[in-house]
Structure 1
Amino acid sequence: MKAIVTSKYGAPDTLELKEVEKPVPKADEVLVKIHAASVNYGNIVLQRGKPYIARLAFGLRKPKFPIPGGDMAGTIEAIGERVTEFKIGDEVYGDLSSCGWGTFAEYATAPEKAVAHKPRNLSFQDAAAVPMAATTALQAIRDSGNITAGHKVLIHGGSGGVGTFAVQIAKALGAEVTTVVSTRNVAIAHELGADHVIDYKKEKLDDKEQLYDLVIGVNGSQRLLTYKQILQSGGRFIHVGGTESQIIKPCFSDHLFR
Structure 2
Amino acid sequence: MRAVVRDRYGPVDVLRVAAVEQPEPGPGEAVVRVAAASLNTADLDHLLGRPRVARVATGLVRPTNRRVGLDVAGTVERVGPDVTSLRAGDRVWADLFDSGHGALADRVCVPASALSPLPEHISFEHAATAPHSGSLALQGLRAAGPVRPGERVLVNGAGGCVGPFAVQIAKARGAEVTAVDHGDKLAFLRELGADEVIDHRHEDITRSGRRFDVVLDIADTRSVVAVRRCLAPGGRYVLIARRMGSFAEKALLGPVVGALTGTRIGTFAWHPNRRADLAELAGLLASGAVRPRIDRRYSLDDAVEALRRLASGEASGKVLVVP
Structure 1 length-normalised TM: 0.87
The residue identity in structure 2 corresponding to 1:12 is: V
Q: Does 1:256 align with 2:232?
A: no
Question: How many residues are aligned here?
Answer: 256
**Separation in 2 of the partners of 1:83 and 1:240?**
36
Q: Does 1:71 align with 2:86?
A: no
CA deviation string 1:25-76 (max 9, x = no partner): 3444321011222222111111111332332343222213221111112111
Mapping for residues 160-171 of structure 1, pairs under 5 Å: 160-171=160-171
The equivalent of 2:309 in structure 1 is none
The equivalent of 1:222 in structure 2 is 222
The residue identity in structure 2 corresponding to 1:18 is: A
The equivalent of 1:137 in structure 2 is 137
The equivalent of 2:47 in structure 1 is 47
Q: Which moved more, 1:121-130 or 1:37-46?
A: 121-130
The root-mean-square deviation of aligned C-alpha atoms, in Å, is 2.3
The Cα of 1:180 is off from its aligned counterpart by 1.1
**Separation in 1 of the partners of 2:252 and 2:59?**
24
Contact kept in structure 2, 1:52 and 1:244, CA below 8 Å = no
The Cα of 1:160 is off from its aligned counterpart by 1.1
The equivalent of 2:12 in structure 1 is 12
Task: Give the secondary structure class of the aligned counterpart of 1:161.
Answer: coil
The equivalent of 1:239 in structure 2 is 239
The Cα of 1:119 is off from its aligned counterpart by 4.6
Task: Give the secondary structure class of the aligned counterpart of 2:62.
Answer: coil
Relative distance call for 1:199 and 1:121 in structure 2 (3 A) is: farther
Larger RCO, structure (CA 8 Å, separation 6 or more): 2
Mapping for residues 73-112 of structure 1, pairs under 5 Å: 73-80=73-80, 81-84=82-85, 86-112=86-112
The Cα of 1:112 is off from its aligned counterpart by 3.5
The residue identity in structure 2 corresponding to 1:33 is: R
Q: Which ranges in structure 1 are unaligned for 5 or more consecutive residues?
A: none
Q: Which ranges in structure 2 are unaligned for 5 or more consecutive residues?
A: 260-323
Q: Which moved more, 1:231-240 or 1:96-105?
A: 231-240
The equivalent of 2:270 in structure 1 is none
The residue identity in structure 1 corresponding to 2:132 is: M
Structure 2 length-normalised TM: 0.71
Q: Which moved more, 1:191-200 or 1:244-253?
A: 244-253
The residue identity in structure 2 corresponding to 1:149 is: R
The Cα of 1:250 is off from its aligned counterpart by 2.2
The Cα of 1:95 is off from its aligned counterpart by 0.8
What percentage of residue pairs aligned between the two structures are identical?
A: 34
The Cα of 1:138 is off from its aligned counterpart by 0.8
**Separation in 2 of the partners of 1:113 and 1:139?**
21
The Cα of 1:205 is off from its aligned counterpart by 1.2
